Amino acid sequence: MEAPALEEHYWNSLVPELTVSQLDVSLRFYAAAGFAVRFQRDEPAFAYLELGQAQLMLEQRHERGWNVMPLDHPLGRGVNFQIEVPDADAVRSALVAIGVSLFREIKDTWYAVAPNVEKGQREFLAQDPDGYLFRFSQRLGNRSAA
């Protein structure tokens, strides 16, 4: 997972940082999903990841971390992160190949986005090793609402 030079890419205005139990275990999941490490440091264990225009930070749990409450598994309850991917089937296969159980199997879903217009995406949901829920989605385009 080698990332391009830092000056070649933009920085998102909003980048979630997730506290993880074991950074190396988490990186295996994110690499299978197609993320690249933009940069990484050891103390505290941290990685800045990107996939297309999606950016995400992971920091291994430590005493000086910014956690306001005790962290109980699964982490990230009440939120899911949608990540757009070019090929949802390929990401699904890569995650299943490393033993990830899917939270919701892949399917095509159409969402109303305007009067008489629906946006489609092929999507599935999977949890990372700490229980954060990710919805990987591939654009299918728009169609007229039935």
Q: Model confidence over 19-32: pLDDT tens digits?
A: 999 999 999 999 99
User: The pTM is what?
Assistant: 0.83
Number of structural domains the chain divides into? 1
What mean pLDDT is predicted for residues 91-119? 96
CATH number at residue 54: 3.10.180.10
Q: Where are the alpha helices (DSSP H) in the chain?
A: 23-32, 88-97
> Is residue 68 included in any domain, yes or no?
no
Beta strands per DSSP E along 9-79: 17-20, 36-41, 46-51, 54-60
> Is residue 10 included in any domain, yes or no?
yes
> Is residue 57 included in any domain, yes or no?
yes
Burial class (CB in 10 A: 0-12, 13-18, 19+), 50: buried
> Is residue 38 included in any domain, yes or no?
yes
Residue 140 belongs to domain spanning: 6-62+73-144
pLDDT tens readout for residues 7-65: 566 788 889 999 999 999 999 999 999 999 999 999 999 999 999 989 999 999 887 77
